[in-house]
Amino acid sequence: MTETSFHAHIRKPASNAGGFFGYSPVVIVLVGLMLCVMLPPIIFLVMSSLHTTNPDGSFRDFTFRFYTDLVANPRFGRNLWNTSIYAVGAAIVAISLGALQAWIVERTDTPLRQYVFLISIISLGIPSVLYTAAFVLLLGKTGPVNQIIEALFGIQQAVNVYSMWGMIIVEGIDFAPLAFLLLAAVFRSMDASFEEAATMSGASGWQTFRRVTFMLAIPGVSALFILIFIRAFESFETPALVGRPAGIPLLTTDIYRATQVDSPPNYGQAGAYSVALLLIVAVLLAFYNRLSRHAGRFQTITGKGYRPRLMHLGKWRYLASAVLVLLFFIIVVAPIAIVIWASLLPFYQPFSMRAFGMLTVANFRGLFSADLLRDALVNTMILGIGTATVVSIMTALFAWLSVRRYKGAWMLDQLATAPLIFPSIVLGVALLQIFLAAPFAIYGAMSSLIYASSMRYLPYGMRYSYAGMLQIHTDLEEAASVSGAGKLAIFRRIVAPLLAPALITCWLYVFLSATKAVSMLILLAGPDTRVVAVTIFDLWADGSLPKLAAMGVTWTLFMACISGVFYSVARRYGVAAR
């Protein structure tokens, strides 16, 4: 089948959209809405990159200095190179781990596969600062990995986490659940008839995977690659926690200093960096858009029955189970185990007989005061549910309109992806400014927190919805249209239900991420809108590792229970493996 024959029957809905100059009114309204939401912080960002500031933080003189500083830095070339290796590496690690899990779970008959979805969402419930710190402890000089290697082989300090490899692995593992959840949706809704055709033509399992399954997954995978690449490119956490002790400078090292060490924070430099990033991201997105222009090639949910059949692995399925168990161990068990260990100690120390003698539950006492339980917990849930719902609904609409190539709808995708380039600290400052200037009282209110975190997670939600949408063929919508259904009815009765598995995953991902996001909320939350993440940050900033660990264990347990409830709901909608 050639590309043209596929394209021949994809009708461009834009031609019958009506509205103004071929723009659908829905698109116009949504683009207008997004511009209202996105433009103020972008303008603030560009302005701050072009101005020096007065002591009170207001803009003073126009300058290009921050841009010239960025490029004139003698280390710029090397930092850019380091950053690129790190970002590509992290994306490869995350996608490899995620794709392997997703394929085993969705396309094979491997035992235990039904638990991977649950496990992934549990790992998303672990507070981020703690998750990165857990890997630093696991792989550190005196960590259990080095202890075991030394006991077995007598090699001292065989693993050095403070290295480029360490950074790539820590960041890669951090994004593995995201990769798994996105790719599971891709693999699940893939037309198995191609694979069956390949198998019948004599291809081996590996050949089928490489030449059919993988190729069909390319749009999903490339979107994911770009997402993780950008996120790693602008990330502060792993470069700060792992790269800084390794002495590996990245582009964000300067931004870290500008916003965290310098006082007052130098937003000009951070702004210039973000603007440069914005341009790079625009290029990547344009590239991605070209790639997905041929989306017709990848649509596999058509009018005919699309539920893919599972591949029978035979005796290999036990190997596949072993792989799942190993990954479960790496992604969830090991980091949680070290956090539990830390939570039971008066001060952090590696495994030893002396340490065993000191175990205590004192860190768990008084962790949850009545206030915290009452206010912060309720606020956190409102924030998570609100953000996830806003993001899911908006991105479902955006994805539908842009995948169906409504005129101008590409802008929705671009606008929803733009927040990715804001380092959250810069976005936080921009929003703080905007909320304070708003003519109505939004500063410190819950609605402002939902607004801010919706913005932060729109890009991620967009990828879930987009990947899900790409695979829905137009013929069902056309059939509905021919039968007289209006646009809204089509979206509500055809698109939304078909998109439901992707949307539920999207909702869960955003819910879990929004409840643990920190740096922006610290700037924006008011005294009445305390959230649990801020308490966790407080413990992190205070530096009491055992207390932080105790809080983290308790929080993870709580989120695991919530995840479990959602999991059982999600199963009913066919999100998780059957």
- The residue ranges that bind another protein (CB under 8 A) are 54-58, 133, 140-142, 162, 240-241, 244-245, 247, 249, 253, 256-257, 259-265, 346-350, 358, 366, 369, 429, 432-433, 436-437, 443-444, 522-523, 525-528, 534-535, 538-545
DSSP run (H or E) holding 51 = strand 51-53
C-beta closer to another protein: residue 397 or 536: 536
Question: DSSP character for 345?
Answer: S
Least distance (Å) from another protein to the CB of residue 247?
A: 7
Least distance (Å) from another protein to the CB of residue 533?
A: 12
Q: Is 60 helix (H, G, I), strand (E, B) or coil?
A: strand
Least distance (Å) from another protein to the CB of residue 156?
A: 12
Q: Is 52 helix (H, G, I), strand (E, B) or coil?
A: strand
d(CA 369, CA 365): 10
Least distance (Å) from another protein to the CB of residue 26?
A: 35
Is the dihedral angle over the CA atoms 525, 529, 535, 536 positive or is it negative? negative
C-beta closer to another protein: residue 322 or 436: 436
C-beta closer to another protein: residue 10 or 372: 372
C-beta closer to another protein: residue 50 or 431: 431
DSSP run (H or E) holding 53 = strand 51-53
d(CA 578, CA 573): 10
- Helical H runs in 50-141? 65-72, 76-107, 116-124, 128-139
Least distance (Å) from another protein to the CB of residue 545?
A: 5
> Is the omega angle on the peptide bond into residue 264 within 30 degrees of 0, that is, cis?
yes
C-beta closer to another protein: residue 314 or 366: 366
Beta carbons of 51 and 63 less than 8 angstroms apart: yes
Least distance (Å) from another protein to the CB of residue 87?
A: 19
Q: Is 23 helix (H, G, I), strand (E, B) or coil?
A: strand
Least distance (Å) from another protein to the CB of residue 331?
A: 23
Is the dihedral angle over the CA atoms 226, 230, 233, 236 positive or is it negative? negative
Is residue 408 left, alpha or beta, with left meaning phi > 0 and alpha meaning psi from -120 to 50? left
C-beta closer to another protein: residue 338 or 510: 338
Least distance (Å) from another protein to the CB of residue 527?
A: 4
Is residue 546 left, alpha or beta, with left meaning phi > 0 and alpha meaning psi from -120 to 50? alpha
Residue of 521, 559, 515, 561 whose CA lies nearest to 383: 515
Least distance (Å) from another protein to the CB of residue 245?
A: 5
Q: Which residues of 286-313 are buried (b: 16+ CB within 10 A; e: fewer)?
A: eebeeebeebbbbbbbeeeebebeebeb
Question: DSSP character for 358?
Answer: T
Least distance (Å) from another protein to the CB of residue 392?
A: 30
Least distance (Å) from another protein to the CB of residue 447?
A: 16
Least distance (Å) from another protein to the CB of residue 355?
A: 10
Name the CA radius of gyration of the chain, rounded: 24
Least distance (Å) from another protein to the CB of residue 226?
A: 27
C-beta closer to another protein: residue 345 or 403: 345
C-beta closer to another protein: residue 28 or 367: 367
Least distance (Å) from another protein to the CB of residue 432?
A: 5
Beta carbons of 535 and 420 less than 8 angstroms apart: no
Question: DSSP character for 20?
Answer: B
Token pair of 536 as six digits: 């966790």
C-beta closer to another protein: residue 219 or 265: 265
C-beta closer to another protein: residue 10 or 337: 337
C-beta closer to another protein: residue 265 or 386: 265
C-beta closer to another protein: residue 102 or 549: 549
d(CA 434, CA 427): 10
Query: How many CB atoms neighbour CB 192 within 10 A?
Result: 18
Beta carbons of 177 and 99 less than 8 angstroms apart: no
The type of residue at 507 is W
C-beta closer to another protein: residue 34 or 517: 517
d(CA 569, CA 478): 31
DSSP run (H or E) holding 382 = helix 377-403
Residue of 116, 235, 251, 107 whose CA lies nearest to 176: 116
Beta carbons of 390 and 34 less than 8 angstroms apart: no
C-beta closer to another protein: residue 333 or 441: 441
